[in-house]
Structure 1
Amino acid sequence: MATQQNEGGVPFAVAHDFKSFRLLELPPELVQLLEAPNPPQLSIKSLPPAASDRPNAQPAYAVLCTPTKSFQIRQVQTSNSVFVTQPTLDAHGNDIPVPTTCAVAACTATLELHPADASAVAYLEDALPVYDIVGGEVDTTHNGKSKAAVFSDMPLSNGQCEQGWSEVVAFELSGSSYRPSVNTLRQVWSSINAAALAEGMKLDSQFLGSDLAELVREEGYPASLAQAIFAHLAAAGQDTSGQWSCLHRAKVVSFVGRMLLQAKQGSSGHSIADFVEEWKDSLPEAWRGDADLKAIDGAYDNPTATTIVAKANSASATPESVLPKATAAKGKWHERFAKTRKK
């Protein structure tokens, strides 16, 4: 340990072996979180190699995550001499130990945090195989990953991951995670609507989502996918983790309209009148009047005054143009639905 001291100066020493050290610069919003009475738990995730190979991916080696936000960690080199010091006692020979400031590390770089506002949807589209139902048969691959395992590989906060999970209507089944095709969403929604009508359930009031999901399972569709649809369309403030569900009427109307239009993607155009009629038939009876093009504003184009087509990427579901066509499965709920539907 080397020491320099002039008369009237401050004793200063430099350790022979510097410790590894990095300075972390915190943004004000993160400082406020940490100074709160009950600060949130923080975690650090490394950017997966697969994600770094993505086109236009932002360079980063790690992110710092709060429950709802994530911050990209960047190392910035500095030409300034920055030392980390600690107080110590320094003595030479038989001299009396003198209080000294000792440099124990030199920081040649600073770690900066920048908000990572990337959507989780892009990562989920890479990680989750498409679950498609064709002629009553499932067409998919298995990734062997649970929801938690998928989230652990995403350099985003759990809150951001959950938001993306809901947006793509992702679900778990038999040890794997999937995202449904528009084809599958159309079939499962038809089963949900038919079962709710047959059982007299009002979807915009509290209903047992677990019971309705079980009826959908009896039709051959995953109950977990039905529950994912309930969560995707849940009314504001609805607890989506319990057995009870309540759907937001306007969300449902828009979701069904966009889904049906996306299912027709790839064609030159469809009659507006025929599309709206199909839309009405896919909604609960009391909601038929809500099927208005204003509900899907921005999701379509009009090639002519009487035809309609979906805009590219206008829905979170997988575009039908990349999926095989399927015949919708029909079972007992569809039969009961047909008997009770007004003509």
Structure 2
Amino acid sequence: MPTQQNERGVPFALAHDFQHFRLLELPPDLVQLLEAPNPPQLSIKSLPPPASDTPGAQPAYAVLCTPSKTFQIRQVQTSNSVFVTQPTLHAHGNHIPSPTTCAIAACTATLELHPVDLSAVAYLQDALPVYDIIAGEVDATHNAKSKAAVFSDIPLSNRQCEQAWTELVAFESSACSYRPSVDTLRQVWSSINAAALAEGMKLDSQFLGYDLAELVREEGYPASLAQAIFAHLAAAGQDTSGQWSCLDRKKVVSFVGRTLLQAKQGSAAYPVADFVDEWKDSLPEAWRGDADLKAIDGAYDSPTTTTIVAHANPAPATPESVVPKATAAKGKWHERFAKTRNK
């Protein structure tokens, strides 16, 4: 019924049946995004803890995902009387209907958006099968999912998923998505380094990444995995979506050292001198002097003063199926590399 009827008042009425509304408070940067000429598509998902997370992980909650950010949706109770209204015509008795403000819903809580700065690594580790190469044969589980399909199932922004994808050196191959095992990374890096040496490519200068990846493919490894390694080790400011690549020397030295050491995980302690020699041999010739344990600080333990082991990491799950692969064929550049090494 109207609560005010005098000439100076504002006629106000309450609907008999309230509708269900939720008020959503948008942060300024999201409002700006939605007001853009071509606003992006938004999605609301549930964010459960990843299966690989430790006990006591944060419980599930709803998130709103934009291409670049993820926001947690929180419900905040309010003690104020908040009504959702709409204009209507109200007739009182025999009087002519007059414009009235009618409350059609009461909101006792407000939904707020708070930025969520989480890593998608754990979610990708759950979603991507391990790609392992053993004696020239690929051992991996088909997931029949593209990168885009994997991202669509992760309740975080595309930017967060892309960062995790690069961190894990994930790649697509034969309409599936994978993350490589440490030993596979070791093998593919060896192929990259050998091909670059044979072709005279300087990895810390601009080089045609597509061409180098194609040489790696000739050795039987996925070119997309080589390109994923280029993206993982890219120099600051390098556009990783184009044909050209340029690697960060410090990143490469640390990556190679850690990869070699982790690939030996489970074996007996490794003599430091032998490990450093292998590390040097796995780097471009001009970078051999950079192989110093300081470059992998925090990634190893020293059982004795002369031995080294990698920090223990959980072993990957055993693949459910095997993807057959022919033994890698040696390309012509491989012969040129051997001649170069023998000089």
In which range does the TM-score fall when normalised by the shorter chain?
A: 0.7 to 0.9
Q: Quote the Cα distance in structure 2 between the aligned partners of 1:263 and 1:298.
A: 16
Once the two structures are overlaid, the 10-residue window that deviates more, 12-21 or 219-228, is: 12-21
Distance 1:287 1:140, change over 3 A: same
- Residues 70 and 116, structure 1, Cα contact 8 Å, conserved in 2: yes
User: 1:184 matched to which residue of 2?
Assistant: 184
Distance 1:53 1:340, change over 3 A: closer
SS of aligned partner of 1:165: helix
Number of corresponding residues:
331
TM-score (norm 1): 0.87
Within 5 Å, give how 1:224-243 maps onto structure 2: 224-243=224-243
Q: Quote the Cα distance in structure 1 between the aligned partners of 2:76 and 2:57.
A: 19
User: 1:209 matched to which residue of 2?
Assistant: 209
Letter in 2 for 1:198: A
User: 1:292 matched to which residue of 2?
Assistant: 292
Once the two structures are overlaid, the 10-residue window that deviates more, 59-68 or 142-151, is: 59-68
- Residues 218 and 329, structure 2, Cα contact 8 Å, conserved in 1: no
- Residues 22 and 107, structure 1, Cα contact 8 Å, conserved in 2: yes
Q: Quote the Cα distance in structure 1 between the aligned partners of 2:17 and 2:334.
A: 76
User: 2:146 matched to which residue of 1?
Assistant: 146
Match of 1:34 among 14, 31, 40: 31
User: 2:2 matched to which residue of 1?
Assistant: 3
Letter in 2 for 1:47: S
Within 5 Å, give how 1:84-233 maps onto structure 2: 84-233=84-233
Letter in 2 for 1:303: P
Deviation track 1:94-119 (CA, whole Å, cap 9, x = no partner) reads: 42333322111122332222322221
Identity %: 77
Pair 1:302 & 2:302 matched:
yes
SS of aligned partner of 1:4: coil
Distance 1:339 1:320, change over 3 A: farther
- Residues 23 and 107, structure 1, Cα contact 8 Å, conserved in 2: yes
- Residues 50 and 122, structure 2, Cα contact 8 Å, conserved in 1: no
Q: Quote the Cα distance in structure 1 between the aligned partners of 2:12 and 2:341.
A: 88
Q: Quote the Cα distance in structure 2 between the aligned partners of 1:255 and 1:179.
A: 16
Shift of 1:32: 3.4
SS of aligned partner of 2:305: coil
Q: Quote the Cα distance in structure 2 between the aligned partners of 1:198 and 1:340.
A: 7
- Residues 144 and 177, structure 1, Cα contact 8 Å, conserved in 2: yes
Q: Quote the Cα distance in structure 2 between the aligned partners of 1:342 and 1:232.
A: 31
Q: Quote the Cα distance in structure 1 between the aligned partners of 2:153 and 2:334.
A: 40
Distance 1:231 1:319, change over 3 A: farther
User: 1:25 matched to which residue of 2?
Assistant: 25
Letter in 2 for 1:138: V
SS of aligned partner of 1:92: coil
Letter in 1 for 2:341: R
Q: Quote the Cα distance in structure 1 between the aligned partners of 2:19 and 2:68.
A: 33
Pair 1:45 & 2:44 matched:
yes
Distance 1:63 1:85, change over 3 A: same
Q: Quote the Cα distance in structure 2 between the aligned partners of 1:4 and 1:335.
A: 93
- Residues 238 and 245, structure 1, Cα contact 8 Å, conserved in 2: yes
- Residues 20 and 105, structure 2, Cα contact 8 Å, conserved in 1: yes
Distance 1:46 1:33, change over 3 A: closer
Structure 1 gap ranges (5+): none
- Residues 181 and 319, structure 1, Cα contact 8 Å, conserved in 2: no
Deviation track 1:172-191 (CA, whole Å, cap 9, x = no partner) reads: 11111000000110111111
Distance 1:133 1:268, change over 3 A: same
Distance 1:60 1:25, change over 3 A: farther
Letter in 1 for 2:44: K
TM-score (norm 2): 0.87
Deviation track 1:164-209 (CA, whole Å, cap 9, x = no partner) reads: 0000000011111000000110111111111111111111111111
Shift of 1:259: 0.5
Deviation track 1:255-303 (CA, whole Å, cap 9, x = no partner) reads: 1011111111123421111111100000011111111111111111212
Distance 1:53 1:293, change over 3 A: closer
Deviation track 1:14-54 (CA, whole Å, cap 9, x = no partner) reads: 1233333101133xxx3135247848635123127795896
